[in-house]
Amino acid sequence: MKTLTTPDAVAAETTARATTPRGQAESAIGHWTHQFLPPILLGLLIIGLWYFVSYVILDEQRRFLLRPPHEVWLVGFANWKNFSEILGGLWSSTEVAIIGLGLAITIGISLATLMSQSKLIEQAVFPYAVTLQAIPILAIVPLIGFWFGFGVSARVIVCIIIALFPIIVNTLFGLLSAPRGLHDLLTLQRVDRLTRLRKLMFPAALPAIFAGLRISAGLSVIGAIVGDFFFGRGDPGIGQLLQRYANRLMGEQLLAAIIMSSLLGVAVFQLFGWIQEKAIGKWHEDRDAKF
């Protein structure tokens, strides 16, 4: 006679299987497959298309436009002289990005906090923040060079300009998103403005703040590279190397430098995602959301 199982019995059986060593191993394999297999397959597809373009679409005379992956690996990565040069430029740009991002975080969170406390300050500052975001960075590069020189300071200024707006917008949105009922409760308790900001508004704003930080982290890397293109004094950054490789038609080194720049942006983005998980992942209801 066939035994009927209830949903509760099925759930209990599933839980019991998951707690066994074999079930835990299967769960870990399933999690790894779900998280890493899709990007790996897409990466293999991209490499296949890369080979197709290099060897089928481009003839031998034009193959310098897109070197095949194995040549990029041999010249750009396996050759320590070339790779060490790329690493040196990447580290120089990383230092600029870190300084610019740190200053952008300080300025952005401070401005957003002031704007959340005064509607007049918000109305005064927000249009200029939007204007700063809307100005093409190339249009003000000459002014930045005239005012701040053509060294590291100018590159940091470019990072700040590019990375500032997402921090302001996301922090302000988060600070203003605290539930109105909790505000009313604190008002009844006659809580002062600073305590309200510290106990209610900032905890409620943390997910939005980290969303802005992750966006600005990637933008700071772009700002460091863009600034390096135009302000080449001091230690050569990855932007100067990209420009040099492009001018000399050094396709393998150029693609290797582009790949390393992209990996830097991804690493910074993931770093702030990890910090977010450690800071709010255990208690916030939206901890599984992807920003």
Asked if residue 15 has pLDDT above 90, the reply is no
Among 71, 72, 68, 74, CA closest to 55: 68
pLDDT at 166: 92
Asked if residue 287 has pLDDT above 50, the reply is no
Asked if residue 86 has pLDDT above 50, the reply is yes
Among 258, 257, 265, CA closest to 222: 265
Percent share of the chain, pLDDT over 90 = 13
pLDDT at 28: 60
pLDDT at 289: 44
pLDDT at 61: 78
Rg over CA atoms, the chain: 25
Mean pLDDT score, 116-125: 88
pTM value > 0.75 = yes
Tell me the DSSP string of the chain.
-PPP--HHHHHHHHHHHHHSHHHHHHHHHHHHHHHHHHHHHHHHHHHHHHHHIIIIIS-GGGGGGS--HHHHIIIIISSHHHHHHHHHHHHHHHHHHHHHHHHHHHHHHHHHHHHHH-HHHHHHHHHHHHHHHHS-HHHHHHHHHHHH-SSHHHHHHHHHHHHHHHHHHHHHHHHTTS-HHHHHHHHHTT--HHHHIIIIIHHHHHHHHHHHHHHHHHHHHHHHHHHHHH---SS--HHHHHHHHHHTT-HHHHHHHHHHHHHHHHHHHHHHHHHHHHHHTTT-TTTT---
The residue with greater pLDDT, 278 or 29, is 278
Asked if residue 291 has pLDDT above 50, the reply is no
Q: How does pLDDT run across 155-206, given as a tens digit for each residue? A: 899 899 999 999 999 999 988 888 888 777 777 777 778 888 888 888 888 8
Mean pLDDT score, 18-36: 63
Asked if residue 79 has pLDDT above 60, the reply is yes
pLDDT at 10: 45
Tell me the DSSP string of 102-117.
HHHHHHHHHHHHHHHH
Asked if residue 37 has pLDDT above 90, the reply is no
Per-residue confidence band for 139, with pLDDT thresholds at 50, 70 and 90: confident
In angstroms, the Cα distances linking 235 to 151, 177, 228, 231, 255 are: 9, 44, 10, 11, 21
pLDDT at 26: 58
- The region that residue 190 occupies, defined by phi over 0 for left and psi between -120 and 50 for alpha, beta otherwise, is left
Q: How does pLDDT run across 209-247, given as a tens digit for each residue? A: 998 998 998 888 888 888 888 776 667 788 888 888 888
pLDDT at 233: 67
